[in-house]
Amino acid sequence: MSRTDEILNILRTFIVPKGELNWRNPYELLVAVVLSAQTTDKHVNQITVPLFEKYDTVYKLAQANVSDIKEIIKPLGLSDAKSRNISNLSRIIVERYNGIVPNTFKDLISLPGVGRKTAQVVLAVAFNTPALPVDTHVERVSKRLGLAKKDDSVLDVELKLKRKINRNEWIDAHHLLLLFGRYYCKSAHPSCNNCKLKAYCKDIISK
């Protein structure tokens, strides 16, 4: 068994690999992921309740005033860019894709506010298509565990993980690494004392 598989197997013993954003269809997930930039999933879940109550279809969001959207999503921060992006991407989905969120990387990444990470989260979570998005948690944990080098770019980390991990495990690996980073191997105060991956760590912060 490879070192990477050993790490993932240990993570599976205490983490259930699943996303934490609330959504009912690909449209809601896409909007939620765009809104999640620089804030927490928990906070996004609070704001998407009133947002999707008012705009429960992509058609309604496409017709909404940007200022009305902004008012609802303001607590999440970056509300100028986020309201503009979700308004524009909704209009494009209605006009170009008949109201259906596209399910290819190429089409998703062409939407406003949708980068490599967001496109892959939507592919993985909404469409169950193999993808391995790298966010700040996945990047940090991968480097601490020696799955990538300290000076690797986010894209380097993604490509290295994809080479080391079987394609059919990419989605689970994304969730496992992300949740490990979010709840255990935190940026400033990782829980090194009780860490089950201490033996694999290149970067133990406190013994």
Q: What contacts 24+ positions apart, CB below 8 Å, involve 45-49?
A: 45/20, 45/21, 46/75, 47/72, 47/73, 47/75, 47/76, 48/21, 48/22, 48/23
Indicate which residue of 60, 70, 80, 117 is catalytic.
Answer: 117
What is the C-alpha to C-alpha distance for residues 95 and 116, in angstroms, rounded to an integer?
23
User: Whole-number minimum distance, CB 191 to ligand SF4, in Å?
Assistant: 5
Q: Does 124 bind ligand SF4 (CB under 6 A)?
A: no
42 is catalytic: no
Tokens coding 17: 């690999």
| The binder of ligand SF4 chosen from 46, 185, 188, 189 (CB under 6 A) | 185
- Site for ligand SF4 contains 147 (CB under 6 A): no
Confirm or reject binding of residue 201 to ligand SF4 (CB under 6 A).
yes
Count of residues engaged in binding ligand SF4, rule: CB under 6 A: 14
| Residue whose C-alpha is closest to residue 57's, from 16, 3, 101 | 101
Type of residue found at 128: N
Q: What does each C-alpha distance from 26 to 118, 153, 165, 194 come to in angstroms?
A: 12, 29, 26, 37
Q: In terms of CB distance, is 92 or 201 closer to ligand SF4? A: 201
135 belongs to the catalytic site: yes
* Residue 155 or 204 with smaller CB distance to ligand SF4: 204
The nearer residue to ligand SF4, 145 or 165, going by C-beta atoms, is 145
Q: Rule CB under 6 A: which residues touch ligand SF4? A: 144-145, 184-185, 190-192, 195, 197-198, 201, 203-205
Residue numbers annotated as active site: 117, 135
